[in-house]
Structure 1
């Protein structure tokens, strides 16, 4: 029986802080960055988790753990556990905070009690939580005050702090389709290429599709085709940059023609090629209706 070989411990990030300061938003942003996220883990389970990242031998390179006062009395051991684990691996702590009056308004807006308020008020719960978290906050690697943030701004802050160098902050899928089969329901933007002559009516091109060089040359030779593609791709650059600032992680650009075989396929490929140079953007190409009869 072979032994399980271990490796280097993966990177572990503890997400903690005040209730209502944005822990769930931060966790969601990390998950979008392909971190493995564990929510509401008792501090005592951090040691086995770090052991698991070593045994996983690279399968869990980045793990984010949300630890907070929902762990009740177990949470009190967090500072001690963190001190013991820092020497073992790449463990960091991000602490989310906000002003008391902001936290009160947030709890009132969602009409939920503070987890520590008991028979008291929301503010009573906040003050007790702040007292219990004082030591954790003091030893945190990063403290983020979310008082002036909305959820999109906080997510953007997390992405800027914890995305890997060169990682895409937005993915756009450029999808060709045929109007006769209906609009893609998930399209954010739609292009109609039916202003160009249809290669379907050319006997030598009818059986081919937009991936074939003959069709591509025919489409791009049409008046206005290249100009439109160049201009549209250039106009999308500030849109994609804005999506990154607003932490919109995905978008779909639907490029349509009548049957989704010729003009839309060529155009989708050409636009995708031009967008590949936009910093922070990953481009995918999908041809929805290419295989239809």
Structure 2
């Protein structure tokens, strides 16, 4: 159980982008476009994931000739797809020669687009490929450094055309995400989403929990006959739980702790957190505490969903 808290241009070679009106006669807004490319192992996937978390529609490893049709579809979405990011790289190298032509088509159609190029030193790239024990996509029967050299040569012109070049040689994942946030998040604070999950310890810990809170120090409403049939969603049960010594102080303390943690998660680019709140059976105390804690998180600007994992169990 979960509850939420909170006019066409003349045809040209290649695909065309409809910049006029939709079938309903409304003006078709052309989506903003970011093309992510660069060296294999330099962090393209991380950059793409960052834009996805910022609300961009992201497509990985797309042939360049399909970019313009995708922008056209976005223009027909009545504003539902306002920002598109595509990852273009040497995995689609048989299409890569068409990228320059595709970019010219987009420019002719007045599509606002930017190219983000990720690069890294040879030493850093070799180290990364060796750490995951995967070959470079262009090395063939040669060495990793041969693949890197071939890729640099292939991408040299694109790097020169890039609007943003990020060298990730000495960056970790969080630092790269911070750079992408600085370029694309604008003045908005990176959004944090939280799941507050009540559970019963006797049914096991949630495997996806980032933090675990134990409410078993609070007297159990299960042993109060008139409260036993109800759950922590009941006002009487919740009142009972928070009338017990230490309950309100416990809530206040954890709410303050989570406020500090949430600020740190935002700085580190972490977008999702699961907070597990447990009692013995997951029916009374943890449910009541989860509801109150979720309201505190919402008041701090955290998009929050409450899930009561074990509340319906006997």
State the TM bucket, normalised to the shorter chain.
0.7 to 0.9
The superposition leaves residues 135-194 of structure 1 with CA deviations (integer Å, 9 ceiling, x where unpaired) of: 322222221111111233323433443347646533221111223333323222222212
Aligned pair partner of 1:240 in 262, 268, 292:
262
Aligned pair partner of 2:84 in 51, 63, 67:
63
The answer to whether residue 306 in structure 2 is matched with residue 290 in structure 1 is no
The 1:120/1:196 distance shift into structure 2, 3 A limit, reads closer
The offset of 1:4, in angstroms, is 4.0
The answer to whether residue 239 in structure 2 is matched with residue 228 in structure 1 is no
The 1:261/1:73 distance shift into structure 2, 3 A limit, reads closer
Match of 2:18 in 1: none
Instruction: Quote the Cα distance in structure 2 between the aligned partners of 1:188 and 1:123.
Output: 39
Q: Do 1:168 and 1:282's aligned partners in 2 also have CA atoms closer than 8 Å?
A: no
The 1:264/1:164 distance shift into structure 2, 3 A limit, reads farther
Instruction: Quote the Cα distance in structure 2 between the aligned partners of 1:196 and 1:242.
Output: 29
SS in 2 for 1:15: strand
Match of 2:167 in 1: 145
Instruction: Quote the Cα distance in structure 2 between the aligned partners of 1:228 and 1:163.
Output: 35
The 1:163/1:104 distance shift into structure 2, 3 A limit, reads same
The offset of 1:97, in angstroms, is 1.2
The offset of 1:101, in angstroms, is 2.8
Q: Do 2:178 and 2:269's aligned partners in 1 also have CA atoms closer than 8 Å?
A: yes
Instruction: Quote the Cα distance in structure 2 between the aligned partners of 1:64 and 1:79.
Output: 17
Match of 2:11 in 1: none
Match of 2:100 in 1: 79
Aligned pair partner of 1:132 in 154, 179, 183:
154
The answer to whether residue 61 in structure 2 is matched with residue 40 in structure 1 is yes
The offset of 1:65, in angstroms, is 0.9
Match of 1:28 in 2: 49
The offset of 1:53, in angstroms, is 1.2
What TM-score, normalized by structure 1, do the two folds share? 0.86
Q: Do 1:9 and 1:50's aligned partners in 2 also have CA atoms closer than 8 Å?
A: yes
Unpaired segments ≥5 residues, structure 2: 1-21
The 1:61/1:204 distance shift into structure 2, 3 A limit, reads same
The answer to whether residue 188 in structure 2 is matched with residue 188 in structure 1 is no
Instruction: Quote the Cα distance in structure 2 between the aligned partners of 1:216 and 1:252.
Output: 22
The 1:12/1:221 distance shift into structure 2, 3 A limit, reads same
Match of 1:50 in 2: 71
Instruction: Quote the Cα distance in structure 1 between the aligned partners of 2:175 and 2:98.
Output: 31
Q: Do 1:171 and 1:282's aligned partners in 2 also have CA atoms closer than 8 Å?
A: yes
The offset of 1:132, in angstroms, is 3.2
The 1:288/1:168 distance shift into structure 2, 3 A limit, reads farther
Instruction: Quote the Cα distance in structure 2 between the aligned partners of 1:106 and 1:192.
Output: 40
The 1:177/1:84 distance shift into structure 2, 3 A limit, reads same
Instruction: Quote the Cα distance in structure 2 between the aligned partners of 1:112 and 1:198.
Output: 54
The offset of 1:63, in angstroms, is 2.1
Unpaired segments ≥5 residues, structure 1: none
Q: Do 2:190 and 2:266's aligned partners in 1 also have CA atoms closer than 8 Å?
A: no
The offset of 1:124, in angstroms, is 4.0
The 1:118/1:209 distance shift into structure 2, 3 A limit, reads closer
The answer to whether residue 179 in structure 2 is matched with residue 157 in structure 1 is yes
What is the number of residues matched between the two proteins? 290
